[in-house]
């Protein structure tokens, strides 16, 4: 198999040139077949994910395990033959969840029912790490708080209980539609005098697993502790409040924020053979939340990125453009890695002839790939849609316009604006695991992960071959 692939690359390498902006050819088809054959028969993505999740574990920005993951990622890139590997320094938040996250509903006659909660990322702890106890009120929308009498909201704990919209087929859109209560709920509650917030976990699953995630405080509003509560407990609590409007809950957390620390984006570079000044970036984010192992979010994207480098070396593909393999830091609670990378890219373009032509991101899990999210002009979108026949044998059929990914989104501010592409796996089960203790290696399917890596690599190759250079 390997001899065949090297021979194929040698033969095609002579003629795979000067096809910018043109429709795909039979040579493209042969190269894609070689990529998928290598990924599915000799792939290393799954074992790399095992190492990342089991030997290193979760990788919250600012933690020692995130630093270990940076070292590991750089070592793998060097082992796979990147021309240059470096760390781009990034100052990241350092927040710890602590060891206590306890909440109980106080029922009649002193009976207490435990609630499954976890701190939202960036939350403060309860004062002195002691429990707070107050009447709980339930709302589905932040604006409801403004219509309530102050005597009801003052001193309360607010339960935000709006489920993700079940009728949206795109689960990412459903997640985005419910995000405001997690991101802004604590400040909205504090603005009307509340002392704490519980936010329904952002998942379609009905279970007792709390799903964490980032939240932010408004500068001019007092900070109150905020926790995610499982969907089962949120539904139960909302129903109990209807029966007993004076129901109280207690909340205790010892999470804490410290001074920012320096970590960084891990960058491996492979110099292009024809147009080395034109950069194609591809990556995923190395950091993860600290409940679970960050397997789907975004260990899958990390090993997809590393596997592209290995796949191209294995089949003897020599990129025309310079490829930058980037393992971004701090996507989960600040996106400082993506912002810093875009700032450095702007400086590069200002001070040299370098052009950032395209960027691709894998940050939607290790599930079976379905296609791509394209953030590009009409011309490039039309070009990518000519690839439908090429990808049809691999059940890749989606070429949709939309957001390509958080890490690469700041690159939209560059001029000329690069083409942005996100790998789009099947997302129906993604939020069952997302930001929860279930996001572990065992919940990633080996073949689906390998298919994602191959599809990611195929998109990189086709953009490298066919994307037109910027007009002077």
Distance of alpha carbon 115 from alpha carbon 118, whole angstroms: 10
List phi, psi (to 5°) of 316: 75, 25
Judge contact between 144 and 152, C-beta under 8 A.
no
Judge contact between 407 and 304, C-beta under 8 A.
no
Within 8 A by CB and 6+ apart from 131, the residues are 102, 250, 251, 252
What would the two tokens of residue 260 be?
């920012």
Q: What is the DSSP letter of 14?
A: H
Catalytic position from the list 278, 293, 331, 450: 331
* Cis peptide leading into residue 416 (ω within 30°): yes
**Which residue from 322, 124, 294, 89 is spatially nearest to 215, judged by alpha carbons?**
124
Catalytic-residue membership of 331? yes
Within 8 A by CB and 6+ apart from 110, the residues are none
Distance of alpha carbon 36 from alpha carbon 56, whole angstroms: 28
DSSP string for residues in 192-249? TT-SEEEEE-S-S--SS-----B----TTS----EEEE-HHHHHHHHHHHHH-TT-EE
How many residues are listed for the chain in this entry?
472
**Which residue from 148, 234, 236, 151 is spatially nearest to 197, judged by alpha carbons?**
234
Q: Which residue has the tokens 């796996």?
A: 425
Judge contact between 137 and 156, C-beta under 8 A.
yes
Largest separation between any pair of C-alpha atoms in the chain = 82
Within 8 A by CB and 6+ apart from 15, the residues are 27
Distance of alpha carbon 107 from alpha carbon 249, whole angstroms: 9
* Cis peptide leading into residue 7 (ω within 30°): no
Judge contact between 435 and 199, C-beta under 8 A.
no
Distance of alpha carbon 407 from alpha carbon 413, whole angstroms: 13
CA-to-CA separations, 124 to 145, 217, 255, 333, 356, in angstroms, rounded = 22, 10, 6, 14, 39
Q: Return the half-sphere exposure (C-beta side, CA atoms, 13 A cut-off) of residue 215.
A: 32
Catalytically active residues, by annotation: 331
């Amino acid at each position: 198999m390997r001899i065949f692939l090297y021979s194929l690359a040698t033969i095609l390498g002579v003629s795979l040139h000067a096809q910018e902006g043109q429709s795909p050819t039979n040579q493209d088809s042969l190269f894609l077949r070689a990529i998928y054959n290598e990924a599915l028969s000799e792939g290393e993505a799954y074992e790399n994910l095992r190492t990342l999740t089991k030997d290193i574990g979760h990788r919250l920005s600012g933690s020692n395990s995130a630093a270990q993951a940076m070292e590991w990622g750089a070592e793998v890139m060097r082992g796979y033959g990147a021309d240059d590997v470096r760390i781009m320094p990034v100052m990241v938040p350092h927040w710890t969840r602590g060891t206590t996250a306890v909440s109980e509903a106080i029922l009649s006659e002193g009976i207490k029912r435990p609630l499954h909660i976890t701190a939202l990322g960036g939350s403060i702890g309860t004062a002195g790490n002691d429990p707070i106890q107050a009447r709980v009120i339930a709302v589905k929308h932040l604006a409801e708080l403004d219509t309530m009498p102050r005597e009801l909201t003052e001193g309360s704990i607010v339960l935000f209980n709006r489920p993700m919209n079940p009728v949206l087929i795109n689960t990412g859109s459903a997640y985005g539609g419910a995000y405001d209560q997690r991101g802004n709920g604590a400040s909205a509650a504090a603005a009307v005098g509340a002392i704490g917030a519980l936010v329904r976990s952002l998942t379609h699953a009905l279970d007792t697993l709390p799903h964490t995630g980032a939240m932010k405080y408004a500068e001019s509003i007092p900070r109150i502790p905020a926790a995610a509560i499982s969907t089962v407990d949120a539904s139960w609590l909302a129903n109990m409040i209807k029966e007993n409007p004076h129901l109280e809950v207690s909340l205790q957390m010892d999470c804490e924020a410290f001074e920012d620390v320096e970590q960084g984006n891990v960058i491996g570079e492979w110099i292009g053979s024809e147009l080395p000044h034109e950069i194609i970036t591809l990556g995923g984010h190395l950091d993860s939340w600290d409940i679970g192992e960050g397997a789907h979010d975004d260990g899958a994207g990390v090993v997809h990125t590393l596997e592209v480098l290995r796949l191209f070396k294995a089949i003897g593909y020599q990129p025309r453009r310079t490829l930058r393999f980037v393992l971004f830091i701090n996507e989960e609670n600040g996106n400082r890695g993506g912002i810093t990378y875009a700032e450095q890219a702007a400086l590069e373009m200002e001070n040299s002839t370098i052009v950032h032509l395209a960027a691709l991101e894998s940050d939607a899990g290790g599930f079976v790939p379905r296609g791509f999210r394209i953030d590009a002009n009409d011309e490039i979108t039309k070009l990518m849609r000519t690839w439908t026949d090429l990808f049809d044998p691999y059940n890749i059929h989606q070429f949709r316009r939309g957001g390509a990914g958080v890490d690469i989104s700041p690159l939209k501010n560059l001029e000329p604006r690069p083409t942005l592409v996100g790998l789009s796996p099947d997302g129906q089960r993604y939020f069952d695991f997302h930001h929860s203790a279930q996001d572990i290696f065992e919940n990633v399917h080996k073949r689906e992960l390998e298919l994602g890596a191959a599809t990611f690599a195929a998109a990189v190759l086709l953009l490298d071959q066919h994307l037109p250079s910027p007009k002077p």
